[in-house]
Amino acid sequence: MRTFYEFFSGGGMARAGLGENWECLFANDFSQKKVDTYIANWGDKDIVCDDVSNITTHQLEGQADLAWASFPCQDLSLAGSGAGLSGERSGTFWGFWKLITSLRRENRAPKVVILENVCGALTSHEGKDFAAICSALNEAEYNFGAIIIDAINFLPQSRPRLFIIATDTSVDLDKSILSESFDPVWHSKSIVSAFNKLPIEQKPKWKWWNLPHPQERRLSFADIIEKDPKSVKWHSEEETQKIMGMMSDLHIKKVRSAQASGDLKVGSIYKRTRPDGHGGRIQRAEIRFDDVAGCLRTPSGGSSRQLIMIVEGSKIRTRLLSTREAARLMGLPEQYKLPEKYNEAYHLAGDGVAVPVVEYLSKNIVEKLIPLSRNRKAA
């Protein structure tokens, strides 16, 4: 059985994606609320609630094959403060990396490290943050490369995320997981640009990871909608009309077109602040009916929580996305136990990594980097 550490674990979505053939040796998150959910689903044997900077190698059992780190993205996202890797939240990457380098000195560093974050990590501080991560990987004797996987390939949610995959230079690389050059499906212009900016001495360690192109997604947004949600209530007609009143003519036209179709249509709505055309700003409700939900986010006020609209002829209903629907949009199984409080459950989902993406990455790259015949059990 392959083994792993899960840092910035949240509710254990990376663990869910890796599956039953992987053994967790250690998990960590700073948020007690997220740790409580982790324990509810996975038990308390592996998880430690603490700042990653306080964790020591003495707490890390054995030698894990994989270290997964979905480190905080707030300082790297377009909506964040722009502080980058020097920020209070995204800067926790360095506390994690200190552990990896300490394990290296103890001759038990993970053979594979995966870093997951928003795509803004590529361009944060004009690319200097991404370059700093690559430099750290290079100095620690890892080969490395980056890909972007959008959860929309597997789930009805638009959620592109950056995955930096690093493997110890001692690991033999299966030719099937490497490409000679970039593949536009997985390597965006931003990735190619970031590679071109790397110092010449680092480029030999860069790998163009190769993934098979995914099959067409079958799951639709309508498929995940609850008929009788327990965590939310339908809006009153007055509340629905208020939301309609926040729409521009373009988005009202989308609603009318959905009505004219005569079919049941499910749309997702986000409230965004837009220019009002008179030098000011106004809050707008923007809807999409492309059978895909907008990217789940962590709720920092009601405006960032996703709404849904059900249109069936002349009948229009609106409400918040339910917590179970949010979990389904992340690929979590129905038996996954969510926090009882709405914002806590929504935050957990919006802050996580999509489960099918982890599964796809694991089966097509990671497991080929860690053959079972070479797997070292925990000490």
Give the residue from 302, 321, 340 where a domain finishes.
Answer: 321
In a domain, 182, yes or no: yes
Say yes or no to pLDDT of 41 above 70: yes
Domain containing 150 — which CATH number? 3.40.50.150
Q: Are residues 317 and 200 in the same domain?
A: no
Say yes or no to pLDDT of 34 above 50: yes
In a domain, 284, yes or no: yes
Give the residue from 304, 321, 338 where a domain finishes.
Answer: 321
In a domain, 339, yes or no: no
pLDDT on residue 88? 44
Say yes or no to pLDDT of 74 above 90: no
Instruction: Quote the number of domains for the chain.
Output: 2
In a domain, 328, yes or no: no
Residue 78's pLDDT band, with cuts at 50, 70 and 90, is: very low
Between 10 and 299, whose confidence is greater?
10
Q: What is the pLDDT of residues 125-182, one digit of tens each?
A: 888 889 989 999 999 999 999 999 999 999 999 999 999 999 999 999 989 999 999 9
- The residue range of the domain holding 73 is 2-215+349-374
Between 74 and 205, whose confidence is greater?
205
Q: Are residues 208 and 89 in the same domain?
A: yes
Q: Are residues 47 and 153 in the same domain?
A: yes
Residue 333's pLDDT band, with cuts at 50, 70 and 90, is: very high
Q: Are residues 75 and 144 in the same domain?
A: yes
Say yes or no to pLDDT of 374 above 80: no
In a domain, 221, yes or no: no
In a domain, 341, yes or no: no
In a domain, 57, yes or no: yes
Q: Are residues 87 and 16 in the same domain?
A: yes
pLDDT on residue 361? 97
Q: Are residues 174 and 242 in the same domain?
A: no
In a domain, 158, yes or no: yes
Say yes or no to pLDDT of 89 above 60: no
> What percent of the chain shows pLDDT beyond 70?
92
Q: What is the pLDDT of residues 282-314, one digit of tens each?
A: 999 999 999 999 999 876 644 468 999 999 989
Q: Are residues 163 and 305 in the same domain?
A: no
Residue 85's pLDDT band, with cuts at 50, 70 and 90, is: very low
**pLDDT, the chain, mean:** 91
Q: What is the mean pLDDT of residues 74-78?
A: 42
Residue 373's pLDDT band, with cuts at 50, 70 and 90, is: low
Say yes or no to pLDDT of 75 above 50: no
CA distance 94 to 119: 19
Q: Are residues 188 and 55 in the same domain?
A: yes
Q: Are residues 61 and 175 in the same domain?
A: yes
Q: Are residues 45 and 100 in the same domain?
A: yes
pLDDT on residue 93? 87
Between 38 and 305, whose confidence is greater?
38
Q: Are residues 310 and 276 in the same domain?
A: yes
Residue 316's pLDDT band, with cuts at 50, 70 and 90, is: very high
Prediction pTM value: 0.91
Q: What is the pLDDT of residues 319-331, one digit of tens each?
A: 999 999 999 999 9
Say yes or no to pLDDT of 87 above 50: no
- Report the relative pairing of strands 307-312 and 281-288 from DSSP bridges: unpaired
Say yes or no to pLDDT of 99 above 50: yes
Q: Are residues 158 and 286 in the same domain?
A: no
Q: What is the mean pLDDT of residues 184-192?
A: 96
Q: What is the mean pLDDT of residues 343-353?
A: 94
